[in-house]
Amino acid sequence: MSLANRCLAECLGTFWLVLGGCGSAVLAAAFPDVGIGLAGVSLAFGLTVLTMAYGIGHVSGCHLNPAVTIGLATARRFPVGEVVPYIVAQVVGGVIGAGALYLIASGKAGFDIGGGLASNGYGEHSPGKYGLVSGLVTEIIMTFMFLMIILGATDKRAPAGFAPIAIGLALTLIHLISIPVTNTSVNPARSTGPAVFVGGWALQQLWLFWIAPAAGAILAGLVYPRLAPDEQ
C-alpha cells in the first residue's frame, strides 16, 4: 500500500475518532435528561478505535494517534522515516473532525465555543480542577499503558484478530479513569483538533498533550521489547 494511501486512511480514521469521541462529549454527554454521561463518552472513544481498526487497520495499521506512531517507531515496529507523514495526516484529520463537530454543535441556539468543544486541559480547565502535575502524570501513565496494550495485542505471538477489541476496550478504560483529570487525551491529534477552534487557553495548554503522550509512548516503546523480547 502506498504511503499516500496509508496517510489518507490515517486522516480519515482520526477524523472519525475526533468527531465520534469528542462529538459524544459535546452533543450527547449531557443531553437533557437522557445524556450518555462519562461512561458513554468513554465507550464512544473506544468504539471509534475499534471500528476504524477493522475498517482501515489493513490499510495503514490504524494508528490514529501521533503517540501510537511514535511508540511503534520506538519499538521498531514502524519505519522512522514515515513517522512525520503519519503524524501530519493524523493532525489534519483531527482538525477536520473538530471542524465538522463545530459546524454541527454551533447549530444549536446558545452554543458557546467557550465550553471547550471537548478540549483537554488542566487547572481551571480540568473537568475535576486537577492541577498541572496531576495532568502530566495521568497522561504519561495512561499513554504508556495504552501503548503497552497495543504492542502486546499486535505482537505476532498474540492471538490473531483480537487486537482491535483489546485496544478499543483499553481506550474506553483509560477514558473512564482520566476524563475527570484532563478530559483524556493520550492522543496529541485528538487534543489539537478542538484546540484549534477553541483557541486561547486550549492552545496555551496544548503543549502538555503533546509532550506527555509522546513521553509515555516512548517509554512503552523501550519497555515492551525488553518485557517480551523476540524469540530467536
- 3-227 belongs to which CATH class? mainly alpha
Per-residue pLDDT of the chain (232 residues; tens, 9 = 90+): 899 999 999 999 999 999 999 999 999 887 666 678 899 999 999 999 999 999 999 999 999 999 999 999 999 999 999 999 999 999 999 999 999 999 999 998 888 887 789 999 999 999 999 999 999 999 999 999 999 999 999 999 998 889 999 999 999 999 999 999 999 999 999 999 999 999 999 999 999 999 999 999 999 999 999 999 987 5
Give the whole-angstrom CA distance, residue 8 versus residue 120.
Answer: 25
pTM above 0.85, yes or no: yes
Integer-rounded Cα Rg, in Å, for the chain is 17
User: Which residue stretches of 61-199 are H helix?
Assistant: 66-74, 83-105, 132-153, 163-182, 188-198
Contact 22, 115 (CB under 8 A): no
Give the whole-angstrom CA distance, residue 213 versus residue 190.
Answer: 11
Angle subtended at Cα 142 by Cα 137 and Cα 144, rounded to the nearest 5 degrees: 95
